[in-house]
Structure 1
Amino acid sequence: MTVRAVQVIAGADVIAYHSARHGRSIARSIAAEHLRADHIEEALIYPVTTESTDHPGGYRGALDEFYESAAARLAAHLDAGRTVAVISEGDPLFYGSYQHMHKRLAHRYPTEVIPGVTSVSAAAARLGKPLAEADEVLTILPGTLPEEELTARLASTDTAVVMKLGRTFPTVRRAMERSGRLPEAHYVERATMTGERTEKLEDIDAETVPYFSVSVVPSRIADLPPGTATSTETATTAETATATTTTGEPSGHGEVVVVGTGPAGPLWLTPESRGALAAAEDLVGYTTYLDRVPLRPGQRRHASDNKVESERAELALALARRGRRVAVVSGGDPGIFAMATAVLEVACQAPYRAIPVRVLPGVTAANAAAARAGAPLGHDYAVISLSDRLKPWEVIAERLHAAAGADLALALYNPGSRSRTWQVGKARELLLEHRAPDTPVILARDIGGPEESVRTVHLADLDPHQVDMRTLLIVGSSQTQAARRDDGTQVVWTPRRYPEK
Structure 2
Amino acid sequence: MAGRLYGVGVGPGDPELITLKAARLIAGADVVAYHAARHGRSNARAIAASLLREEQIEEPLIYPVTTEGTDHPGGYQGAIDEFYTEAAARLAAHLDAGRTVVVLAEGDPFFYGSYMHMHKRLAHRYETEVVPGVTSVSAASAVLGRPLMERDETLTVLPGTLPPAELAARLSSTESAAVMKLGRTFDGVREALDRAGRLGDAWYVERATTDRERSARFAEVDPETVPYFSLALLPSPAAAAFMGDEGEEPERKGQVTVVGLGPGDPRWLTPEARAALAEADDLVGYVTYLQRVVPGPHQRLHPSDNRVEAERAAFALDLAKRGRRVTVVSSGDPGVFAMAAAVLEVAEDPQWKDVPVRIVPGLTAAQAVASRAGAPLGHDFCVISLSDRLKPWPVIEARLAGAAAADLVIALYNPASKTRREQLVRAREVLLGHRSPRTPVVVGRDVGGPDESVRVTTLGELDPATIDMRCLLIIGSSQTRAVARGDGSTVVYTPRHYSV
Deviation at 1:126, TM superposition (A): 3.8
After superposition, the Cα gap between the structure-2 partners of 1:295 and 1:86, relative to the gap in structure 1 and judged at 3 Å, is same
Counterpart-to-counterpart distance in 1, 2:70 and 2:265: 48
The code of the aligned residue for 2:127 comes to P
1:316-356 Cα distance to aligned partner (Å, 9 max, x none):
11222222221111111111111111111222213211112
Counterpart-to-counterpart distance in 2, 1:280 and 1:374: 36
The code of the aligned residue for 2:33 comes to A
Deviation at 1:164, TM superposition (A): 3.8
2:170 paired residue number: 157
- SS in structure 2 opposite 1:92? coil
1:215-241 Cα distance to aligned partner (Å, 9 max, x none):
x26379669879xxxxxxxxxxxxxxx
Counterpart-to-counterpart distance in 2, 1:66 and 1:364: 45
2:26 paired residue number: 9
The code of the aligned residue for 1:12 comes to A
1:443 paired residue number: 443
Which residue of 158, 163, 174 maps to 1:140?
Answer: 158
Counterpart-to-counterpart distance in 1, 2:75 and 2:400: 61
Q: What is the TM-score of this pair, normalised by structure 2? A: 0.83
Deviation at 1:152, TM superposition (A): 4.1
1:246 paired residue number: none
1:421 paired residue number: 421
Task: Answer yes or no: is 1:46 the counterpart of 2:62.
Answer: yes
Which residue of 192, 214, 225 maps to 2:209?
Answer: 192
Q: Are the equivalent residues in 1 in contact too, given 2:167–2:189 (CA < 8 A)? A: no
- SS in structure 2 opposite 1:87? strand
Q: Are the equivalent residues in 2 in contact too, given 1:154–1:179 (CA < 8 A)? A: no
Deviation at 1:265, TM superposition (A): 3.7
Counterpart-to-counterpart distance in 2, 1:118 and 1:190: 12
Deviation at 1:107, TM superposition (A): 3.0
The code of the aligned residue for 1:272 comes to E
The code of the aligned residue for 2:64 comes to V
After superposition, the Cα gap between the structure-2 partners of 1:69 and 1:462, relative to the gap in structure 1 and judged at 3 Å, is closer
2:455 paired residue number: 455
2:316 paired residue number: 316
1:241 paired residue number: none
- SS in structure 2 opposite 1:91? coil
Deviation at 1:64, TM superposition (A): 6.0
1:230 paired residue number: none
The code of the aligned residue for 2:167 comes to L
Counterpart-to-counterpart distance in 2, 1:386 and 1:130: 56
- SS in structure 2 opposite 1:112? strand
Number of positions where the alignment pairs a residue of Structure 1 with one of Structure 2: 468
The code of the aligned residue for 1:380 comes to D
Q: Are the equivalent residues in 1 in contact too, given 2:40–2:60 (CA < 8 A)? A: no
Deviation at 1:474, TM superposition (A): 0.8
Q: Are the equivalent residues in 2 in contact too, given 1:442–1:454 (CA < 8 A)? A: yes
1:410 paired residue number: 410
After superposition, the Cα gap between the structure-2 partners of 1:463 and 1:131, relative to the gap in structure 1 and judged at 3 Å, is farther
Deviation at 1:208, TM superposition (A): 3.0
2:5 paired residue number: none
**Structure 1 stretch displaced more, 205-214 or 363-372:** 205-214
Structure 2 unaligned segments of length 5 or more: list them. Answer: 1-17, 243-250
Q: Are the equivalent residues in 2 in contact too, given 1:446–1:452 (CA < 8 A)? A: yes
Counterpart-to-counterpart distance in 2, 1:395 and 1:137: 55
- SS in structure 2 opposite 1:468? coil
The code of the aligned residue for 1:154 comes to L
**Structure 1 stretch displaced more, 475-484 or 191-200:** 191-200
**Structure 1 stretch displaced more, 173-182 or 435-444:** 173-182
Counterpart-to-counterpart distance in 2, 1:41 and 1:336: 67
After superposition, the Cα gap between the structure-2 partners of 1:142 and 1:211, relative to the gap in structure 1 and judged at 3 Å, is same
After superposition, the Cα gap between the structure-2 partners of 1:266 and 1:139, relative to the gap in structure 1 and judged at 3 Å, is farther
1:146 paired residue number: none
Counterpart-to-counterpart distance in 2, 1:67 and 1:75: 12
Deviation at 1:295, TM superposition (A): 3.9
After superposition, the Cα gap between the structure-2 partners of 1:453 and 1:44, relative to the gap in structure 1 and judged at 3 Å, is same
After superposition, the Cα gap between the structure-2 partners of 1:39 and 1:131, relative to the gap in structure 1 and judged at 3 Å, is farther
After superposition, the Cα gap between the structure-2 partners of 1:300 and 1:165, relative to the gap in structure 1 and judged at 3 Å, is closer
Deviation at 1:264, TM superposition (A): 1.1
Which residue of 234, 239, 247 maps to 1:218?
Answer: 234
Counterpart-to-counterpart distance in 1, 2:82 and 2:365: 52
Counterpart-to-counterpart distance in 2, 1:481 and 1:68: 50
- SS in structure 2 opposite 1:328? strand
After superposition, the Cα gap between the structure-2 partners of 1:137 and 1:460, relative to the gap in structure 1 and judged at 3 Å, is farther
Task: Answer yes or no: is 1:88 the counterpart of 2:105.
Answer: yes
1:444-469 Cα distance to aligned partner (Å, 9 max, x none):
11111122111122112221101111
1:259 paired residue number: 259
The code of the aligned residue for 2:166 comes to R
Q: Are the equivalent residues in 2 in contact too, given 1:438–1:460 (CA < 8 A)? A: yes
Counterpart-to-counterpart distance in 1, 2:421 and 2:278: 39
Which residue of 119, 130, 136 maps to 1:113?
Answer: 130
Q: Are the equivalent residues in 2 in contact too, given 1:446–1:453 (CA < 8 A)? A: yes
Relative CO higher for 1 or 2, CA cutoff 8 Å, sep ≥ 6?
2
- SS in structure 1 opposite 2:441? strand
Task: Answer yes or no: is 1:288 the counterpart of 2:291.
Answer: no
The code of the aligned residue for 1:157 comes to R
1:248 paired residue number: none
Q: Are the equivalent residues in 2 in contact too, given 1:155–1:272 (CA < 8 A)? A: no
1:160-214 Cα distance to aligned partner (Å, 9 max, x none):
6554444x34774686499667946654321222212234555544443333233
After superposition, the Cα gap between the structure-2 partners of 1:68 and 1:477, relative to the gap in structure 1 and judged at 3 Å, is closer
- SS in structure 1 opposite 2:130? coil
The code of the aligned residue for 1:46 comes to I
Identity of aligned residues (%): 60
Q: Are the equivalent residues in 2 in contact too, given 1:188–1:196 (CA < 8 A)? A: yes
Counterpart-to-counterpart distance in 1, 2:195 and 2:407: 42
Deviation at 1:261, TM superposition (A): 0.9
Counterpart-to-counterpart distance in 1, 2:378 and 2:465: 28
Deviation at 1:301, TM superposition (A): 1.3
CA RMSD of aligned residues (A): 3.2
Q: Are the equivalent residues in 1 in contact too, given 2:196–2:278 (CA < 8 A)? A: no
- SS in structure 2 opposite 1:460? coil
Task: Answer yes or no: is 1:358 the counterpart of 2:345.
Answer: no
1:89-138 Cα distance to aligned partner (Å, 9 max, x none):
12223332323433443333321111223334434544556667867683
**Structure 1 stretch displaced more, 450-459 or 190-199:** 190-199
- SS in structure 2 opposite 1:102? helix
Deviation at 1:377, TM superposition (A): 0.9
